[in-house]
Copies of this chain bind each other. A is one copy, B any other.
C-alpha cells in the first residue's frame, strides 16, 4: 500500500442495459434496439475505462419480470448473460475490472468456479464475482421450484457455495504446473488437491480443471445488507456494494461492516465499501435539473405501481394515487431484501409519501443532481466522513450519464487528488490494493 493520499474506487454499474432507470430505453439518446449488440457494451466499457474506473459492475437476474403486464409492455426486459458479455468485453479493454453477478441459489459451484477462473485468465486478472441470492418466485420457477428459498437458507447456501468455489480455485497450487517436455511431467501430483467437500447444500469432489486464477481468487463482491448479508460480507467479501441513502445510514453501515471483520481475522482495509450513487450532471445546475426532468418522465405511473405491488406482495394499483399508503408494510413473513423493506417503511412512516410518490420512487432512484463540482463535493464528503471507500455509479440513462460523469466529474475528482489519473496496476486486486490470497495448501500441505 502506498503512503500517498487515499483515493476512492469507482465502479460503473449496469442493470437495465439502457440505463439504471427501468424505462431508460425511452430516453431520446437511448439506443433501445442495440441492447443485445456487442458494440453497445463495448462503447460503455471503453468509456468507463477512459474514465479510469476500477470496475464494470454488471448486475443480473435470471428471469423476466412479467408478473404485471406493464413489466412486459414498458420495462426493459432483455439483457445479455453476464459471463458471455464480460468475456467478450475483456478483449476490448486492458485495465478495467469485470464483475459478473451470479446467484448462488440456482447455480453449481463447479461451473461458476470454472467460468470465473477462465474469465480471470482471459482478462489477465480482472475478474470479480458479485455474489447474490435469488429472491423472486419467477426465478425459482425457471429452475424447477415453485417458490424462492427462505432468506436464511439462501444465505447458508451462499456461504457453502463460496467455500466450495474458493476450495476449487485452490485445487492447483500456484507452481503446480511444470510443463516439462523433457521429463514428460505436465504437473506435480503433490501440488494438486481434491476438495472432497460434503455440506448440506453441496457435495463437490474437485479438483478444478482450470489452474489457480491469476488473482488467486477473483475479487468477491457482495451486497446483502440484512444481518446474514453483513456477516457474509464481513467474513468473505472484498467489495460491498452499499445501498446509498442518507449519509448517516451509510456511515453506520460502514462502521458496522468493518467492525464485524476482526472476528474473522480480517483487517478493515481488506473490504472496500462502495455505495450506489446515481448522478445526473450538468454544466450548470439548471442543465442538470433539465436532464433529471426528462429522466423522471420516462416511466408510466402504472409501471411504478406494479413494481410496488410486486415488492409488497399485494396489489395496490386500485388505491387513491394522491393519498398516503393506508398500511405499513409488515416485516413478519417478508422474504425479499429486508433492507429494502426497511427503506420503504421509512418512506411510509417518516416521509409519509403518497402512493403516487412511492410508485415514482420505485421507478426513479434518488439521484445526486448538479454541477461537476457539486457532485464531487457530495462524493468527497461521503469519502472523507467514513461513509464510503468509493462508489458504484449507476447511470439513469445511457450513454449520456456515463459520458457526463467521465468527461465532467472524473477530472474534478482527479484535480482534488481523490481519484487516479492513470491506472498504476494491471489486475483488479491491484486497482483495489487488495492482497492476492494465498492457497490454503501452501502452508501445512494437506
Contact = CB atoms under 8 A, between A and B. Distances in A.
Given A75-B186, A77-B186, A84-B84, 13 more contacts: A25-B179, A36-B118, A37-B121, A63-B209, A64-B208, A66-B207, A69-B189, A73-B184, A80-B121, A81-B117, A83-B115, A84-B122, A141-B204
Contacts of A62: 110-111, 114, 209
In the complex, the count of this chain's copies comes to: 2
Given A110-B143, A144-B202, A184 B75 contact: no
A88 interface: yes
Given A81-B115, A92-B91, A76 B186 contact: yes
Contacts of A37: 121
Contact of A211 (B28, B78, B114, B118): B78
Contacts of A441: none
Interface string A99-128: 000000011101100110111011000000
Interface string A125-162: 00000000000001001111000000000000000000
A64 B209 contact: yes
A150 B215 CA distance: 39
A321 interface: no
Contacts of A114: 62, 81
B36 A210 contact: yes
A206 interface: yes
A192 interface: yes
Interface in A207-247: 207-211
A361 interface: no
Interface in A180-216: 181, 184-187, 189, 192, 194, 202-211
A84 B121 CA distance: 10
Interface centre among A64, A138, A203 (most CB of B within 10 A): A64
8 contacts: A25-B179, A27-B181, A36-B118, A66-B192, A72-B186, A77-B186, A77-B187, A80-B210
A38 interface: yes
A91 B91 CA distance: 7
Task: List 8 tightest A-B contacts by C-beta distance, closest first.
Answer: A141-B205, A32-B179, A84-B118, A64-B209, A91-B91, A36-B121, A87-B87, A81-B118
Interface string A21-43: 00101111010110011100000
Contacts of A403: none
A279 to B, nearest CB: 23
A300 interface: yes
B91 A88 contact: yes
A28 B181 CA distance: 8
B211 A84 contact: no
Q: How large is the interface on A (under 10, 10 to 19, 20 to 34, 35 or more residues)?
A: 35 or more
A198 to B, nearest CB: 9
A364 interface: no
A100 to B, nearest CB: 10
Nearest to A69: B189
A397 to B, nearest CB: 12
Nearest to A64: B209
A61 interface: yes
A88 B25 contact: no
A211 B88 contact: no
A312 interface: no
Nearest to A176: B72
A434 interface: no
Given A64-B207, A64-B208, A78-B210, A26 B184 contact: yes
Contacts of A88: 87-88, 90-91, 122
Nearest to A179: B32
A63 B113 CA distance: 12
A316 interface: no
Interface in A1-48: 23, 25-28, 30, 32-33, 36-38
Interface centre among A90, A92, A121, A204 (most CB of B within 10 A): A121
Contacts of A186: 23, 25, 32, 72-77
Contacts of A171: 64
A406 interface: no
